[in-house]
Structure 1
Amino acid sequence: MKNSIFAVAATMIAATGLHAEEVLPTNVAFNDGAVEQSLSGVAGDAANGRIIVGDKGQGNCVACHQVADLADVPFQGEIGPALDGAGERWSEAELRGIVANAKIMFEDSMMPSFYKTEGFIRPGNAYTGKAADDTFGPLLSAQQIEDVVAYLATLKEE
């Protein structure tokens, strides 16, 4: 009886993703710019991804890209390509790679690397006048990347 209870518990944990391990920014495996493996091990939430894309305090994707679905967000940028149809132009793995570090796929991209913690020339530690330290994390968390990817995958040409 105990063995069957443990088996059911293990199955439930596996089904809910509680066993999933987050991929650290330094361990992301790129394949021609694409990232096949989920960074969080948990499916992305497209509704939260939509918020992140349009929120100037989070992803701020609209600073450079236009998104018709976010017409209520003012002052959308024109530096990057429009994100309408992104779900048709790129696979989920390609979208994940682009959001994590676009420079891997598009060498001359001006897009910031949202899931990178090394290889930067760091300015000082905020406005303290002190040198940068090791507390500089990625711009977005692994789950936020997955949420943005889930949202971008929903964007189809109309």
Structure 2
Amino acid sequence: MKRTLMTIALIGAATGAAAAEIAPGEVPFEDGAVTVSLTGAPGDPARGREVVGNKSLGNCVACHANSDMSDIPFHGEIGPMLDGAGERWSEAELRGIVANAKMMFPDSMMPSFYRVDGFTRPGNAYTGEAADDSFGPLLTAQQIEDVVAYLATLKY
């Protein structure tokens, strides 16, 4: 049994099998940055662009202007412009900012997209019942990686 587990581990390492997803409460922040991938898989910039502009997902353009998204109306002006984000911040800094901007910028108004604790939650929908523990993060770990991959493409 021990030999089988070791063989499986070696095969996984040799084939580049992805690491386990990092849970929201386990994200290792270093000065606000997150140097390790949340999924072990690369992000997809095209899917990240969709998350940034989609009102049902990240809706980043509600607060940030982005010249690359002229096809999407009503960009906000509360947060910094996303143009050049890939030059202003490293991939690790972008990951930290998207996951939980308050770790780098404590007074930020930006939502913590990969956080599930430390909130005062509203009641359970409109039922009048207290909130339960079923609230997940606003974005999945892969969506965070996709957004980071997209933001990294935004150069001046």
TM-score by length of 1: 0.90
RMSD after superposition: 1.8
Q: Show the counterpart of 1:136.
A: 135
The equivalences for 1:35-74 within 5 A come to: 35-74=34-73
Superposed displacement of residue 13, structure 1: 7.2
Q: 2-side partners of 1:101 and 1:37: how far apart?
A: 14
Q: Show the counterpart of 1:75.
A: 74
Q: 2-side partners of 1:146 and 1:31: how far apart?
A: 17
Q: Show the counterpart of 2:86.
A: 87
| Higher mean displacement: 119-128 or 58-67 | 119-128
Identity of aligned residues (%): 68
Q: What amino acid is the match of 1:14?
A: T
Q: Show the counterpart of 1:107.
A: 106
Runs of 4+ in 1 over 4 A off after TM superposition: none
Q: 2-side partners of 1:108 and 1:59: how far apart?
A: 20
Superposed displacement of residue 11, structure 1: 5.7
With over 3 angstroms needed to count, the CA separation of the structure-2 counterparts of 1:21 and 1:126, relative to structure 1, is same
Q: 1-side partners of 2:128 and 2:68: how far apart?
A: 41
Residue 25 of structure 1 pairs with residue 24 of structure 2: yes
Q: 1-side partners of 2:75 and 2:141: how far apart?
A: 25
TM-score by length of 2: 0.91
Provide structure 1 residue ranges, at least 5 long, that are not aligned to the other structure. 1-5
- How many pairs were matched up? 150
Superposed displacement of residue 112, structure 1: 0.3
Provide structure 2 residue ranges, at least 5 long, that are not aligned to the other structure. 1-6
Secondary structure in 1 matching 2:16: helix
Q: Deviations over 1:19-50 (max 9, x none)?
A: x2000000001000000010011100001000
